[in-house]
Structure 1
Amino acid sequence: MKASISKSVVSGAIAAPPSKSYTIRALFAAALAEGVSRISNPLVADDTEAAAEVLAQLGAVIERQPGVWTVSGGHLKPPRQNLNCRQSAATLRFLAPVCAMLDGESRITFDPGLARRPMTPILEVFSQLSVESELTDTCLDIHGGGSRFQTGVVSLPGNISSQFISGLLLAAPLAPDGLNVRLTTPAESRDYLRMTVYCLRRFGIVVETAGNLTEFRVQHQAYQAADYTVEGDWSSASYFIGLGAIAGGLTVTGLNENSFQADRFMLNCLRRMGAGVNIAGDSVTVSPSPLRAVEIDLNEAIDLLPTVACLAAVAEGESAITGLERARLKESDRVSAVAGNLKRMGIEVVEEAGRMTVTGGTPRGAVIDSHDDHRIAMAFAMLAATCGDTVIEGAGCVAKTYPGFWQDFETAGGKVIISE
């Protein structure tokens, strides 16, 4: 699938899609709670569907209606069939600890693209718990048995992915004696851990934290069914917020300014670059203005790299974007993917291990390789609106987190033709 984009002027308002991160967390919590939970405003996308399907295989009953998913949970057990996480790293990393807590064997499968993303921390935790597991390129076998755990304390690094820690926190209440999770290195993406703790609290689970989120204590507890409303997704909104700054002005609704979502940092980025940003209730309105270069550390909001780099491409001066080491381990090596595509558009980029320097200029149309990475496709659609004559290959990858992206892009005034 290809998206051909012409130079565009945007205006009006777009509603932010629901948060992927909160939808998946709420699904897991609801599936672990005995009784009926209602998740309002869930994100319907490939990643959340993957989470819903594996939880249904474990025994949760999930009824999907427009705008609300009803989950009857509790009493999960390993299924006889494989649990397919597709391309969802969060589903894989949340599911594995849960399966370790269940008595019986689980086989978790996933698309080959996930094989390049780290899994070592959770395997080392399983070893500490005396849980047997075997990992291949597309399969993880887990011989669960929470009642046979040899310890109530586990340790793992905090600087590889917060998803490993979140997965352990989701599973910890099932451990007969609870679980203490200690980090051997400071946590990165701490806001995602705060999201998990907040979501667990909504379903009746208390997590005690210490040492600036370097230690988590979870007693054996029972999840409580709850009604939960998913807020708008700052990550998905970032492309339209950025679009408003460079292609005509735009309002994005349905956003919580006080969210735990790390990518609300997008507002800070735009203000530092000189864009006009106004917040009224749950709406963010961005007005275009000449952008200026910035030096910015994205370590705590790593998914913003493609968006910020594309904005830097039209900013005056040389922008330095740092804290990018983990961006190489996403759906693509996003540092190289972003740098390569910006160079195709005539933008000067210097790529280093965890740093990128972008010299702003006048992008020209080009053929963009999405690398089957949803965030690459959406960010370069934003930039393409400023110059036109651009084709984004593999444009269908947006379905991973934002199936309605191209329709919303058109609604905002973006000129795009979708073809096979």
Structure 2
Amino acid sequence: LYDFSVFEGSSRLIERGISVYEDIFKKIGIEISKTDKSITLKGRLKSSEYTVTGNISSQFISGLLFALPLLDGDSKITVIPPVESKPYIDITLSVLKEFGIEIAKDGENSYLVKGNQKYCPKNMTVTGDWSNSAVFFALNALGADIDILGLSENSLQGDKIITEYIKILKEENPLIDISSCPDLAPVLFALAAVQGGAEFIGTRRLKIKESDRAEAMKEELAKFGIKTEIYENRVVICNGTLKPPKCAISSHNDHRIVMACAMLLTKTGGIIEDCGAISKSYPNFFEVLSSLGAEVSYET
């Protein structure tokens, strides 16, 4: 929306792929340059017809949906299937509608966006977060008795499927597709490690999260004595006996890894290093965990 913009962030954030935007921006004359900790844009977004790959990240689609209504002309977004994390696109459309933005669907995977629109301020009540609640559902599956409040069964959040996936993990030879809910992967991997293993498909995009979540969980589960096998688009958590880790658990600077491993440590005890990553989504997570009866102490 501006002629010149600079975005600064951690090196991990900057290295996460933005190839979708690079391809789009190149076609409309926007220049992109990157350093280890910044991305610079020169040139303005234009109303146009955009074609976006749907199996990399829904965030690219959401970004266009937020920005295009503010331009002078009308635009169209066509998403090339398969469309992964589609619930996040649905949430984006719902939020935009709440703030007065009109976007019409044109078939299953295309969106018509009128230009010259304005966001209208309003008061809203935000529903509970199914993604952050997943660890508590998992703890309940391990024998806890936690009342999880403030969640809506009618929510558009894709991660509400956590309750169904926990049921599947109790079945023989469980198989779970996480292509539409990659944020659940670490907690589900951890729960599978306790409950006899499982196979997960749709795991390819775990590489481009705050950490490479499949590799990160493989490394940490090994400390608990659990073997993990990683394939191109599949992860297998092998059957094994959970053991107390003999060394500290790494957060991999990823809030989801922190929560997943903290859940396992309630069973074995141990240390998580650099757990400040939890502040990204749940700053008081360990205070809540402590209030539920877990013994939590901090080392400096």
TM-score (norm. length: structure 1) = 0.68
Decide whether the 8 Å contact of 2:103 with 2:112 is kept in 1: yes
Q: What is the 5 A alignment of 1:217-228?
A: 217-220=112-115, 221-228=117-124
Judge which range, 367-376 or 179-188, deviates more. 179-188
Equivalent residue number for residue 377 of structure 1: 258
1:376 Cα offset (Å): 0.6
Distance 1:292 1:315 in 2: 10
Decide whether the 8 Å contact of 1:341 with 1:368 is kept in 2: yes
Distance 2:227 2:38 in 1: 40
1:292 Cα offset (Å): 5.7
1:204 Cα offset (Å): 0.4
Instruction: Tell me which of 206, 216, 226 is aligned to 1:337.
Output: 216
Equivalent residue number for residue 185 of structure 1: 81
SS at match of 2:29: coil
1:172 Cα offset (Å): 0.8
Distance 2:220 2:133 in 1: 22
Decide whether the 8 Å contact of 1:295 with 1:319 is kept in 2: yes
Q: What is the 5 A alignment of 1:219-298?
A: 219-220=114-115, 221-274=117-170, 293-298=173-178
Aligned letter for 1:365? P
Equivalent residue number for residue 362 of structure 1: 241
Q: How many residues align?
A: 297
Decide whether the 8 Å contact of 1:247 with 1:386 is kept in 2: no
Deviation digits for residues 241-292 of structure 1, max 9, x if unmatched? 1111114221111111111111111011112234xxxxxxxxxxxxxxxx76
Q: 1:303 to 1:216 in 2, by over 3 A?
A: same
Q: Mind listing any 5+ residue stretches in structure 2 that lack a counterpart? A: none
Equivalent residue number for residue 417 of structure 1: 297
Aligned letter for 1:351? I
Q: What is the 5 A alignment of 1:3-402?
A: 101-102=1-2, 104-146=3-45, 149=46, 152-212=48-108, 214-220=109-115, 221-274=117-170, 293-316=173-196, 318-366=197-245, 367-388=248-269, 390-402=270-282
Structure with bigger strand share is 1
Deviation digits for residues 125-165 of structure 1, max 9, x if unmatched? 1223333332333222223435xx3x521112111110011
1:186 Cα offset (Å): 2.7
Decide whether the 8 Å contact of 2:169 with 2:198 is kept in 1: no
Aligned letter for 1:343? A
1:197 Cα offset (Å): 0.2
Aligned letter for 2:139? L
Relative contact order, CA 8 A, sep 6+: which one is greater? 1
1:354 Cα offset (Å): 2.0
SS at match of 2:132: helix
RMSD of aligned alpha carbons: 1.6
Q: 1:136 to 1:209 in 2, by over 3 A?
A: farther
Displacement over 6 Å in runs of 4+: none
Aligned letter for 2:272? I
Q: Mind listing any 5+ residue stretches in structure 1 that lack a counterpart? A: 1-100, 275-290
Q: 1:416 to 1:131 in 2, by over 3 A?
A: same
SS at match of 1:363: coil
| Aligned residues with identical type, % of pairs | 33
SS at match of 2:148: strand
Judge which range, 294-303 or 265-274, deviates more. 265-274
1:185 Cα offset (Å): 3.5
Equivalent residue number for residue 24 of structure 1: none
SS at match of 1:320: strand
Distance 2:198 2:82 in 1: 27
Aligned letter for 2:13? L
1:374 Cα offset (Å): 0.9
1:394 Cα offset (Å): 1.2
Distance 1:349 1:131 in 2: 42
TM-score (norm. length: structure 2) = 0.94
Distance 2:49 2:295 in 1: 55
Distance 2:225 2:21 in 1: 42
Distance 1:338 1:387 in 2: 16
Q: 1:371 to 1:265 in 2, by over 3 A?
A: same
Decide whether the 8 Å contact of 1:158 with 1:186 is kept in 2: yes
Aligned letter for 2:24? V
